Amino acid sequence: MDRAIISAFSDEAGEPLEAQMAALIRNGIHGMEIRAADGVNISDMPAAKVREIHKILCEKGIFVWSVGSPIGKISVTDAFGPHTEKLERTLEAACILGAENIRIFSFYMPEPDSMDARSLPESLRDTVMERLSVMADKAKQYGITLCHENEKGIYGQSAAQCADIAEAVPDIAHVFDPANYIQSGEDPAYAWKTMAGHVKYIHIKDALKDGRVVPAGRGDCGLKEIISAFYALGGRHMTLEPHLCVFGGFRELEREDDAALKIGTYEYKTQDDAFDAAAEALSDILQDLKIRY
């Protein structure tokens, strides 16, 4: 398979499903990493509504590559039982949507600025791995792959900690988000060398050294080089995650103290404008690399 396969967090173009589909179609993108539709997160959506969405997407020729879930975005010290119930609903939704992946996280730490896994209490690290193992086992029953994303403040925010997860829970795959590495104080090039062999797909999101998110190729992530290396290793799946403007549900994605993510270097009049600019920037990189999609 020579072509790259592009999906997108289309809820960044608008809350209504119709607006999301329109944004994908006009940018020639046929895949979706579905996070929310009509203002409701997929993990909280009734099965009947998920089936309705799947039918509509199929009619438009749009497939769901992954469910961009919030699973794992609770504190490592929070009760785990209710979260496993949420995971069950998300797994059921993924099956209905025909998605083979669910994006997850590895739990917020009490001290989110700690970058060194060795500085964390061993009990917290063990709790993370135990919970991830339970989640991976449950996903296997559904034939779904859980894909861990590096994110600021969670256990797996650094390359070393992501590598620890990869070794301890090999049934979990990995999403590589270069902008998140910068925002966690990590060099994306170093992170790529550490995690390349474990990456199932990439989130296309770029950032400046100060953490401000910018269109792909205009930041300091070395995104073009990472995409080239990923493709050379046989990687084909990429998800566009613009994060170039505030969109519905945006603040729900972050801890309260991180709610004002570094946005504003590039200004867009509408969410559609921001989404289109992100799609165009990715298209320019792929054309430069002579990668078809």
Residues 235/272, Cβ–Cβ less than 8 Å: no
Tens of pLDDT, residues 242-261: 999 866 655 555 555 554 44
pLDDT of residue 253: 59
Tens of pLDDT, residues 27-44: 999 999 999 999 999 999
pLDDT band for 117, please (50, 70, 90 cuts).
low
pLDDT of residue 246: 64
Q: Which of 40-44, 80-84, 186-190, 264-268 has the lowest mean pLDDT?
A: 264-268
pLDDT of residue 267: 78
pLDDT top residue among 266 and 221: 221
Over range 111-121, report the average pLDDT.
58
Sequence letter at residue 190: Y
For residues 115 and 113, give the distance between their C-alpha atoms in angstroms, rounded to a whole number: 6
Sequence letter at residue 43: S
pLDDT of residue 20: 98
pLDDT top residue among 100 and 112: 100
Sequence letter at residue 32: M
**Tokens 């995650």 found at:** 241
pLDDT of residue 286: 98
Q: Compute the mean pLDDT over every residue in the chain, rounded to the nearest whole number.
A: 92
Q: Identify which of 182, 177, 124, 126 has the alpha carbon closest to the alpha carbon of residue 149.
A: 177
pLDDT greater than 70 at residue 173: yes
Counting residues of the chain whose pLDDT is more than 70, the rounded percentage is 89
pLDDT band for 195, please (50, 70, 90 cuts).
very high
pLDDT of residue 259: 42
Q: What dotted CATH number matches 5-288?
A: 3.20.20.150
Q: Which of 88-102, 113-127, 142-156, 201-215 has the lowest mean pLDDT?
A: 113-127
State the angle between helix axes of 223-232 and 271-288 in degrees (0 to 180), rounded to the nearest 10: 60
What residues does each domain of the chain span?
A: 5-288
Residues 172/200, Cβ–Cβ less than 8 Å: no
Q: What's the pTM value of the predicted model, to 2 decimals?
A: 0.92
Question: For residue 257, how many other CB atoms are within 10 A of its CB?
Answer: 8
Please name the residues in contact with 87: beta carbons below 8 A apart, sequence gap of 6 or more.
69, 71, 135, 138, 139
For residues 265 and 165, give the distance between their C-alpha atoms in angstroms, rounded to a whole number: 34
DSSP 40-98: EEGGGS-HHHHHHHHHHHHHTT-EEEEEE--TT-SBTTS-SHHHHHHHHHHHHHHHHHT
Please name the residues in contact with 63: beta carbons below 8 A apart, sequence gap of 6 or more.
30, 31, 32, 57, 98
Over range 225-249, report the average pLDDT.
90
For residues 72 and 156, give the distance between their C-alpha atoms in angstroms, rounded to a whole number: 11
pLDDT greater than 70 at residue 115: no
pLDDT of residue 260: 47
